[in-house]
Amino acid sequence: MKKTTLYIGAALILFSSCKKFLQEKPQTFLTPGNFYQTAADATAALNGVFSGLEAQAYYGRTVWIISENSADLLYPPNGNSDRVTLYQNNYTSTNGEIANWWNSSFKMIKGANDVIAHVPGIKMDTVARNNIVGNARFLRAMAYFDLVRSFGDIPLITAPVVGSTDTSLYAHRTPAAKVYQQIISDLQFAETWCTAENKIASGNKGLVSTGAASAMLARVYLTRAATSFADPSDNQNALAECNKVIGYPYYTLLTAYKDIFDCAKKYGPEHIFCVQFALPPSTGNITLRMFTPSALGGSASFFCQNSFFNNGYSAADSIRRNWNIANKAVSIVNGTTVSTTPFFYKYRDSLWTNQSNNSRVNWIVLRLADVYLMQSEALNNIDPTDPAKFDGLNKVRARAGLKDPTQQLNFSNTVTASDFVDSLVADRARELCVEGERRWDLIRLGRFKQRMSTLGITIDDNHLLMPIPLSEIQVNKNLSQNPGFN
């Protein structure tokens, strides 16, 4: 019996140490208790926000399935109904690509909100700290800009969601006009605090610069200028932001068009903001595989419209044509030249291997040529009679080998403001095809329905917006759907 007493005693001792025994000590992840302590933590958290960009369901692929595959240059073969209905612009609220776009955007916003909320509390150099917050605010603005262009009114969440009872968990839609205000305020903060491109160390290229914030602001103002809630000074502001960027001496157009897409020449003088990709162990870019015909080692998932292939470029415009599109090429599978369905040959990588998902191709979000074209657009909007509006556009043409005066635009070959817009629509396609802005360009410039009708695709007004994913509507009773969708 004595032994029993001893035993019970031992059990009691054990019980008191149970608390420690049952404590969880995470081994492979950080927690709020041990993160956001140092400047290095802040950097890692910012990298985490950037990380979301590389996902296939975001800036790795979905970005152009949403913006290019639904416009007049790119089309998918029969098969994948998400992509086909986006192309035909009869997509519904169950479209998986649209859900990817929604989900991935908010996922990055979540990360950005976390940085914006917690980094200011870290004891570190103020400039460095604001630079990190500025980067996060740029990325948040970029995501909200994508969302507001795609869906109109959206939930606007600007602080971390904590706990299941947080009211922002089941958010209502915020009017688009208010979303734009938040975007502009975020970008202005980024413009103030982000490092100038020439001051970003080569090892940190890829971070947001003040110039990137300015260029993005230009795009935002220009886009808002074409909406019903435009601010009267939007075009002026867009112009001012373009001028800021163009004024920075470290931004220049690359002499050779193809160098823009050279995987060995990333973050050259023309690049303003790019989503970075690299071969494993980094994340590679699947876009190259998607665009490449199967005979050339790709997955033949998207092709170039015959109309653009046949008539998109004049004979003189051969530099860009030869780089951007092709219907035959040397196969990396067996080294022979093969003829194929016309495709976009714009993105290439000498280190890409047959059928690989991974290429080094960077996704260019903003580059100087676009800023020049935006400058021209803003000038045309402000005063169609201003001859300066041809300057930016002609500079971009000249770089593409269209230097001859007969190849340059002026009031005699581009008479009205509307003619100018038509030229701009064509030129933006030639210069910026499949760079992720086509749908937004066409909508902003008022040419979407017209361009799509040339392909036999009728756009109803409802399909100028995308539906909020049905899965989201079903989970959040506070969300209403866009007209024409269920």
Partner 1 sequence: MKRLLIATLVLFFCTMVKAQTRKITGRVISAANAPLSGVTVQVKGSKTATTTDVDGAFSLAVPEQTPVILVFSSVGFGTKEVNVTGGSTISVILTEKVQGLNDVVVVGYGTARKRDLTGSVASVSAKDLDKTPIIRADQMLQGRVSGLQLTQTDGQPGSVTSIRIRGTNSINSGNEPLYVIDGFAGAGDLNSINPGDIQSIEVLKDASATAIYGSRGANGVILVTTKKGVSGQHVITVDGYNGVQKVAKKLKLMNAQQFGTYLDSLQSAANAVNPASALALPYTADQISKLGKGTDWQDALYRTAPMQNYQVGFSGGNMDTRYYLSFNYFEQEGIMKNTGFQRGTIRMNLDKKISEKLRIGFTSQIAYTSQLIDVTKTDIGYGAAGSVLNMNPASPVYDSTGAFTYQNQPLPYVSVIGNPVAGIVLSTDRIGTFRGLVNFFGEYEIIPGLRLRSSIGADYSSATEKRFIPTTTYLGSQSNGSGYQGTSNRYSWLNENTLTYTKTFNNIHAVDIVGGFTIQAFDTSAYTSSSTGFFTNTLGANNLAIGSNVQTPGASGTLNTLASYFGRVNYRLKEKYLFTFTMRADGSSRFGTAHKWGYFPSGAFAWRMSDENFIRNIRAISDLKLRTSYGVTGNQEIGSYQSLSQYVTNGYSLGSSPVRVVGITPNNIANPNLSWESTSSADGGVDLGLLSNRITLTADYYYKTTTKLLLNVSVPQSSGFSSILLNAGKVRNQGFEVSVTSRNIDGPMLKWTTTINYATNRNKVLNLNGTDSVLAGKTGPYILTNGLAPSRLIVGQPIGNFYGYVFKGIWQTQDQITKSGIKGKYVPGDPIIADLNHDSLITGADQTIVGHAQPKFIYGMTNDFSYGRFNLSVFLQGVYGNDILNVTKYSHTTGGTNNPFVDVVGAWNGPGTSNTVPRVYSSMEKGLGVVSNFIEKGSYLRIQTVTLSYNAPLPKVTHVFKSSLIYFTVQNVATITGYSGYNPEVSSYGLDNLSSGIDLNPYPPARTFIAGIKMTF
Binders of partner 1 among residues 297 to 336 (CB under 8 A) are 299-300, 303, 305-307
Chain centre to alpha carbon of residue 248: 23
Does 474 bind partner 1 (CB under 8 A)? Our answer is: yes
Residue type, 251: Y
Q: How far apart are CA 289 and CA 293, in angstroms?
A: 8
Task: By CB under 8 A, name the one of 158, 168, 407, 481 that touches partner 1.
Answer: 168
* Position among 231, 262, 419, 472 found at the interface with partner 1 (CB under 8 A): 472
The single residue among 5, 31, 228, 336 that binds partner 1, judged by CB under 8 A, is 31
Among 123, 232, 249, 281, binds partner 1 (CB under 8 A): 281
Q: Which of 5, 202, 255, 406 binds partner 1 (CB under 8 A)?
A: 202
Cα 480 to Cα 93, 153, 484: the distances in Å are 12, 10, 12
Separation CA 452–CA 433 (nearest Å): 15
Q: Show the binding pattern over residues 226-265: x = contacts partner 1 (CB under 8 A), - = does not.
A: --------------------------------------x-
CB 116 within 8 A of CB 140: yes
CA 94 vs CA 98, 389, 467, 470: distances in Å? 8, 42, 9, 6
* Binding residue (CB under 8 A) for partner 1 from 119, 139, 194, 207: 207
Q: Is residue 59 within the footprint of partner 1 (CB under 8 A)? A: no
Tell me the backbone φ, ψ of residue 367, rounded to 5 degrees.
-140, 165
Nearer to partner 1 (CB atom), residue 67 or residue 358: 358
Pick 297 or 392: Cβ nearer partner 1: 297
Q: Pick one of 13, 203, 249, 412: the residue that binds partner 1 (CB under 8 A).
A: 203
Q: Is the peptide bond before 77 cis (omega within 30 degrees of 0)?
A: no
Query: 3-class SS at 336?
Result: coil
- Determine the Cα–Cα distance for residues 86 and 96; give it in Å rounded to an integer: 10
Q: Which of 5, 13, 79, 255 binds partner 1 (CB under 8 A)?
A: 79
Is 168 within 8 Å of 113 (Cβ atoms)?
Answer: no
> Do 442 and 436 meet the contact criterion of CB atoms below 8 Å apart?
no
Does the footprint of partner 1 cover residue 341 (CB under 8 A)?
yes
Stretch that binds partner 1, among 14-22, 121-129, 393-401, 406-414 (CB under 8 A): 14-22
Q: Least distance (Å) from partner 1 to the CB of residue 42?
A: 10
Q: Does 412 bind partner 1 (CB under 8 A)?
A: no
50 binds partner 1 (CB under 8 A): yes
Between 239 and 459, name the residue whose CB sits nearer to partner 1.
459
Strand partners for 366: 273
CB under 8 Å to 100, separation ≥6 — which residues? 57, 58, 62
Which of 439, 301, 431 shows the shortest CA–CA distance to 357?
A: 301
| Contact between 174 and partner 1 per CB under 8 A | no
Q: Which stretch binds partner 1 (CB under 8 A): 27-35, 184-192, 208-216, 390-398?
A: 27-35
The conformation of residue 480, written as its DSSP 8-state character, comes to P
Given 58, 106, 261, 344, the residue binding partner 1 (CB under 8 A): 106
